[in-house]
Amino acid sequence: MTAIITPEQAEMAKKKDRAFFICPRWNEVADAPRIGASGMTTPIRVNEKILAAIKGGRPVARSTLRKALLAVRQASGSMFDVDAYIVDQRAAPE
């Protein structure tokens, strides 16, 4: 049995090629003393390479950045707007 691949599937970009999103305020959101003061008990479960890229300001895929921000929000117990922290580098003013 062979799978039929449509043209849309064949042209889909890999996740690493869709890395245009950054979180310039990551250190503000994931500030260790602030999270510790809020009584965070759940560790943030994010791949170390991805976490290093986000902390370093390197672009990552939107879904990856959103998952990391959601993990921080859940762990800290705060209710901030995740999408407000995501910046698309392609649309950023130069």
Distances (CA, A) of 93 to 25, 29, 59, 89, 90: 17, 23, 16, 8, 9
- What was the pLDDT predicted at 59? 92
Number of domains into which the chain is organized = 1
In-domain check, residue 62: yes
Measured torsion, CA atoms of residues 76, 78, 83, 87, in degrees rounded to the nearest 10: -60
- Supply the pLDDT for residue 74: 82
pLDDT confidence of residue 48: 82
Residue 2 inside a domain? The answer is no
Q: Cβ(1)–Cβ(64) under 8 Å?
A: no
pLDDT of residue 78: 79
Tell whether 26 is covered by a domain.
yes
Q: Which of 54, 53, 47 is nearest to 28 (CA)?
A: 54
In a domain, 6, yes or no: no
For residue 81, what are the domain limits?
A: 17-32+44-91
Please check whether residue 5 lies inside any domain of the structure: no
pLDDT along the chain (94 residues), means of 10: 56 66 86 54 72 89 90 82 90 56
Q: Report the alpha-carbon distance of residue 31 to residue 34 in Å, rounded.
A: 5
Reduced to 3 states, what is the DSSP secondary structure of residue 19? coil
- Which pLDDT score, from 0 to 100, does residue 19 have? 74
Report yes or no on 1 lying in a domain: no
